[in-house]
Amino acid sequence: MTNWPLDAVELAQALIRCESVTPVEGGALSALEGWLAPLGFACERMPFTDEGTPDVDNLFARAGSPNAGPHICFAGHTDVVPIGDRADWKHGPFDADIADGILFGRGTVDMKGAIAAFVAASAAYVTETGEDLPGAISFLITGDEEGPSVNGTKKMLPLLAERGERFDACIVGEPTNPDAMGDMIKIGRRGSLNGVLTVNGIQGHVAYPERADNPVHNILPLLNALVQEPLDDGHPHFPPSSLQATSIDVGNMTTNLIPAKAEARFNVRFNANFDSAKLESEIRRRLDAVGQPYSLKVAVSGESFVTEPGPLTETIAKAVEAVSSRRPEFSTTGGTSDARFIKDYCPVVELGLISATAHQVDEHVATADITALAETYLEVLRDFFKAGS
């Protein structure tokens, strides 16, 4: 019979009541410190600032030996997206109401429920093992995941590495299950590249096209060159890379003017067949083949990565199956997460709640699911340290 010193649902309610709309801390990190410090976690605030982005506060908390035994890290974010129109919510977005076994509030799914579950699991495990942990448990909690993702995990990791901090494995508590607990864990993510393609022309009257050079006409074959052939046929752990045009703009409000410039934007979600440099090279090769002058700017928000199935994924899958009686699918679907930064420091897997209502009005989760996730995390801790001992 597991002794649960802290109740995961009550912790989730307390976190939801913290109005931590990104980048505001809202008391969420202070609440975590109040729970973790009595468990023996050394807590450190890690604020960062950068020009043109909001200042962000973050938390690193660690318990256990600095030198002996394996180190598992739980990573997540306490910041949440804005609520939209408060009048649209049947339950107050920060009231943390429970009705018929359902917990309502902004961040229940993404991802305060998961953070609460890991705190509860860590408290139970520390109670089981006493003062001498067979390794180290840490929390890497940011307030910048829903924002620019500049002053959070991305800056915490290199600073901790400079200090000699080493992680053997990391679980990110992003919501991973499409429909039911036990459906899925994420073992990787596609990369994301944004492109801005610009073609300059000569402005003129539409009645005298011979005196102008229409950039709209000239940008179309360039876009066609980008999409007419697939980038690849897929990867063992990923679907084919996908290039999607998202806009073509000329800023022209009149009907009788040939514009001077046309601009197209596109996004590529790319699999592990590419890194961003290789992908950009392929994009430019296709554009150059058209023989039309252009300029291209690219920005990469994350590289593709995969944690190959092995000891970590099996430990987590076994824990999921033990609690939910379902063998989870290993998936790389979805957008990006802070796992894209963590993968450079240790193997990382994402495991959290059901994603269906993330970012929606009346975001909610079953209280039983939060409890089940805490039980799953506890099983992971037990097996992880047993295997590493």
Total domains in the fold of the chain? 2
Residue 297 lies in a domain: yes
At 190 the pLDDT is: 96
182 with 200, same domain: the answer is no
pTM of the model: 0.91
Residue 3 lies in a domain: no
Give helix 28-36 / helix 113-129 axis angle, nearest 10°. 10
245 with 312, same domain: the answer is no
Local confidence band at 100 (pLDDT 50, 70, 90 cut-offs): very high
What is the separation of C-alpha 360 from the centre of its chain, rounded to a whole number of angstroms?
17
102 touches 367 (CB < 8 A): yes
Local confidence band at 388 (pLDDT 50, 70, 90 cut-offs): low
Range in 130-134, 148-152, 275-279 with the lowest mean pLDDT:
130-134
Give helix 311-324 / helix 367-388 axis angle, nearest 10°. 140
327 with 180, same domain: the answer is yes
A 10 A CB-CB count for 310 gives 10
Question: Beta strand pairing status for 184-186 and 329-331?
Answer: parallel
116 with 97, same domain: the answer is yes
Residue 223 lies in a domain: yes
63 with 81, same domain: the answer is yes
A 10 A CB-CB count for 224 gives 12
Contacts of 379 (CB under 8 A, 6+ apart): 318, 319, 322, 323
Local confidence band at 204 (pLDDT 50, 70, 90 cut-offs): very high
The pLDDT tens digits of the residues spanning 356-368 come to: 999 999 999 999 9
351 touches 316 (CB < 8 A): yes
d(CA 384, CA 389): 9
What is the separation of C-alpha 347 from the centre of its chain, rounded to a whole number of angstroms?
15
d(CA 380, CA 387): 10
Contacts of 305 (CB under 8 A, 6+ apart): 188, 189, 191, 272, 339, 340, 343
Where is the domain boundary, 275, 302, 329? 302
At 213 the pLDDT is: 97
Local confidence band at 69 (pLDDT 50, 70, 90 cut-offs): confident
Q: What is the DSSP letter of 86?
A: G
240 with 336, same domain: the answer is no
169 with 298, same domain: the answer is no
At 282 the pLDDT is: 98
Q: Is the pLDDT of residue 93 over 60?
A: yes
Could you tell me the CATH number of the domain that includes residue 30?
A: 3.40.630.10
How much is the average pLDDT of 160-186? 97
Where is the domain boundary, 302, 317, 351? 302
How much is the average pLDDT of 139-163? 96
Q: Is the pLDDT of residue 43 over 90?
A: yes
DSSP alpha helix (H) spans, the chain? 8-16, 28-36, 113-129, 153-162, 215-227, 276-290, 311-324, 339-342, 367-388
371 with 384, same domain: the answer is yes
Q: Is the pLDDT of residue 389 over 70?
A: no
91 with 180, same domain: the answer is yes
d(CA 33, CA 59): 8
Mean pLDDT score of the chain, rounded to an integer?
96
Residue 199 lies in a domain: yes
At 272 the pLDDT is: 95
Residue 2 lies in a domain: no
Catalytic residue numbers? 79, 145
Residue 280 lies in a domain: yes
370 with 360, same domain: the answer is yes
Its domain, for residue 344, covers 8-189+304-388
Rg (CA), the chain: 24
Q: Is the pLDDT of residue 49 over 80?
A: yes
How much is the average pLDDT of 67-78? 92
CA angle 319, 58, 152 (to 5 degrees): 85
28 touches 80 (CB < 8 A): no
Beta bridge partners of 200: 261
63 with 132, same domain: the answer is yes
At 334 the pLDDT is: 87
Could you tell me the CATH number of the domain that includes residue 282?
A: 3.30.70.360
At 65 the pLDDT is: 78
The pLDDT tens digits of the residues spanning 338-383 come to: 999 999 999 999 999 999 999 999 999 999 999 999 999 999 999 9
The pLDDT tens digits of the residues spanning 282-324 come to: 999 999 999 999 999 999 999 999 999 999 999 999 999 999 9
Residue 119 lies in a domain: yes
d(CA 352, CA 260): 50
Question: Strand, coil or helix: what is 60?
Answer: strand
137 with 159, same domain: the answer is yes
d(CA 381, CA 17): 28
Where is the domain boundary, 252, 280, 302? 302
Residue 328 lies in a domain: yes
